Amino acid sequence: MPIPTSERPFDRLAVELAEHYFTGDPGFASALGLTEYDELLPDMSAGAVAARERADDAWSDRLGSLGDTDLRPEERLDRDLALMVLRGRAVLRDWADWRRSPDLYASPALSGVFTLLLNRLRPEPEVAQAVAARLRATPELLAAGRTNLDPDLAHPALLRRGIGMVSAGAAYARSVAGEIGDEAGRGEVAAAGEIAARAFDEFAAHLTGLAERATGDWAIGEARYDALLRGAEGLGYGARELRERGQAEYDELSVDMSRRARDLRGHDDWRKVLDELNADHPATPEEMLELYREATAAARAFCVEHQLVSMPDETCQVLPAAPFTRSMIAVAHCIQPPPFARSAANTGYFFVPYPPDGASAEEVDERLAGNNRHIAWPVAVHEAYPGHHWHFAWLAANTRGGGARPLRSILASSYFVEGWGLYTEDLLREQGFYRTPEQELAQRQARIFRAARVVVDTSLHLGEMTVDEATEFISGKVGQSPETARAEVLRYCAWPTQASSYLTGALEIARMRQRWLDEARGSLCDFHDRAAGSGQLPISLVERAVFE
């Protein structure tokens, strides 16, 4: 279905803006349910990148010229949302991530195919044609990566990080035809998959050589970090104050966890207790999957019983993570229901972090320990109910029904999205969801992990912490396995400020909830429905949406 609009001038303008974003990222458009982009991959040539940057500037000027008097309150929010997102892109423009990160080339090719097969929004022959088209377009996209990636700018660790995804991508491209039921389409996808696989093999070899001579950095620096916090999120502080807040939250949580450790084991060494919890883990990835399915079902039932949120017609499928993501993402994650696919079921996906193919027995054990029988419960809350899946399903249902602004499903801030996920972990602890003291301690571990992330992310991008130091900090201070800690740290290097968004957003949402209750605006459920239904706004705009 097309993006819903009205005859309001601003709404027509918003559709134009959305098309600008979708042209630059067709895979994202497909993920939202807009099938007219299904055959396309992004143009990542230097000329196309420069053209998009000029278009961004033109949009900033165009939107910035819109005065408040001609706009309704909800349109003002949409305008400010778009301006803040554009501002964030402008802050990082001179950083030139497209010359540093192999993810920008491999990920759209892989996720673009994976999402088509996951959602299957068209008849099988048409899905096969779209998959084949994206596979055939993959060599051109990866060739742009070979041209653009600069060893003087790219950091060797981030290039090596990408090799795991690229190598797994080659295997995925060669096997993906097995997911096509239509016989003719299967043959077309198999042929296209081999073309893409050879391109992935060549890209992996190129990255290997590039990593050997790369001398670049990952740290975006204090000025850019501060500008993202203040300009793109509307927060009133910069990186150093944010780090102080993260450290203060860590210290407070550590005291609480010491008390819980004494109650459980008679001593205050909570890290030792966490080691014991890690040892109580599923024996296999398949058993881990079943554990997460059990915890997800329990979390949904609890939300319904306690009327914490309004539950739309939705489904959350709990599945193994895609093979090409397993070396890069060591934690659970989700994919939202497509909000603009009116004919599709409101189905989202919660991906369980299986170990990468070819992982050693020790690496498999570490991955399972990080997803032990206790931590699985707060993780299921965060990823599913009433965390990310519920948030996206609620927003998608309202968007399809005309009750939510379409632009709020397109432009997003991780500070609300991830802040919401972490907020819900604590919410369900307060409401009595966790069944044992061990599960409550595990939830506290999940929160102190996010506090440590703030310290590490800011320090990495201020240039005051190395990858090894950050890995040791996460592993030693939080109890994460070294394998998970390193994968996490490299993600922070590649995605500045995102790791800080969890705790920052959760604290802001909790503050807003208290204001809502103090002012007797409505029930707890009303607050949750209204806050999550406002979209994925920068955290400073959420308060306007909720209270104005």
Instruction: Identify the pLDDT of residue 5.
Output: 76
- For residues 469 and 219, the answer to whether their CB atoms sit within 8 Å is no
State the pLDDT confidence band at 2, using cuts at 50, 70 and 90.
low
State the pLDDT confidence band at 425, using cuts at 50, 70 and 90.
very high
State the average pLDDT for the chain.
95
Q: Where are the domains of the chain?
A: 9-213, 239-547
- Residue 525, C-beta contacts closer than 8 angstroms, at least 6 positions apart: 307, 308, 309, 310
Identify which of 42, 151, 53 has the alpha carbon closest to the alpha carbon of residue 105: 42
The mean pLDDT value for 100-111 works out to 96
DSSP conformation letters of 42-64: ---SHHHHHHHHHHHHHHHHHHH
Beta strand 315-320 with 347-352 is: parallel
- Using a pLDDT cut of 70, give the percent of the chain over it: 99
- For residues 1 and 32, the answer to whether their CB atoms sit within 8 Å is no
Instruction: Identify the pLDDT of residue 344.
Output: 67
Identify which of 99, 107, 97 has the alpha carbon closest to the alpha carbon of residue 165: 107
Instruction: Identify the pLDDT of residue 3.
Output: 80
**Buried/exposed code over 285-311 (b: 16+ C-beta within 10 A; e: otherwise):** beebbebbbebbebbbebbeeeebbbb
CA angle 415, 416, 419 (to 5 degrees): 75
**Continuous segment of H or E residues that includes residue 471:** helix 467-478
The mean pLDDT value for 504-508 works out to 96
Please give the torsion angle defined by the CA atoms of residues 14, 18, 23 and 29, in that order, rounded to the nearest 10 degrees: -150
Question: How many Cβ atoms are within 10 Å of 547's Cβ, its own excluded?
Answer: 12
Q: Could you give the CA distance from residue 353 to residue 323 in angstroms, rounded to a whole number?
A: 10
Q: Is the pLDDT of residue 158 over 80?
A: yes
Lowest mean pLDDT among 154-168, 183-197, 470-484: 470-484
258: left (phi over 0), alpha (psi -120 to 50) or beta: alpha
Identify which of 4, 24, 21 has the alpha carbon closest to the alpha carbon of residue 12: 4
- Using a pLDDT cut of 90, give the percent of the chain over it: 91
- For residues 56 and 86, the answer to whether their CB atoms sit within 8 Å is yes
DSSP 3-state of 335: strand
Lowest mean pLDDT among 187-201, 215-229, 338-352, 490-504: 338-352
**Measuring CA to CA, how many Å separate 453 from each of 132, 236, 313, 428?**
40, 20, 35, 22
pLDDT tens per residue across span 486-499? 989 999 999 999 99
Instruction: Identify the pLDDT of residue 328.
Output: 76
The residues that bridge with 349 in the sheet, in sequence order, are 317, 335
The three-state (H, E, C) secondary structure of 342-387, written as one string: CCCCCEEEEEECCCCCCCCHHHHHHHHHCCCCCCHHHHHHHHCCCC
Distance of CA 474 to the CA centre of its chain: 20
pTM of the model: 0.95
Output the six-digit token pair for 546. Answer: 């909720």
pLDDT tens per residue across span 43-73? 999 999 999 999 999 999 999 999 999 999 9
Q: Is the pLDDT of residue 462 over 70?
A: yes
Q: Could you give the CA distance from residue 310 to residue 321 in angstroms, rounded to a whole number?
A: 28
- Residue 69, C-beta contacts closer than 8 angstroms, at least 6 positions apart: none
The residues that bridge with 320 in the sheet, in sequence order, are 352
Identify which of 351, 326, 368, 360 has the alpha carbon closest to the alpha carbon of residue 164: 326
pLDDT tens per residue across span 246-289? 999 999 999 999 999 999 999 999 999 999 999 999 999 999 99
Q: Is the pLDDT of residue 1 over 80?
A: no
The mean pLDDT value for 177-196 works out to 95
Phi, psi of 335, deg, nearest 5 = -125, 135
The mean pLDDT value for 430-435 works out to 97
Q: Is 17 exposed, middle or buried (0-12, 13-18, 19+ CB in 10 A)?
A: buried
pLDDT tens per residue across span 117-155? 999 999 999 999 999 999 999 999 999 999 999 999 999
Q: Could you give the CA distance from residue 31 to residue 115 in angstroms, rounded to a whole number?
A: 6
DSSP conformation letters of 256-325: HHHHHHHHHHSS--HHHHHHHHHHS--SSHHHHHHHHHHHHHHHHHHHHHTT-S---S-EEEEEEPPGGG
Instruction: Identify the pLDDT of residue 233.
Output: 93
Sign of CA dihedral 278, 280, 282, 288: negative
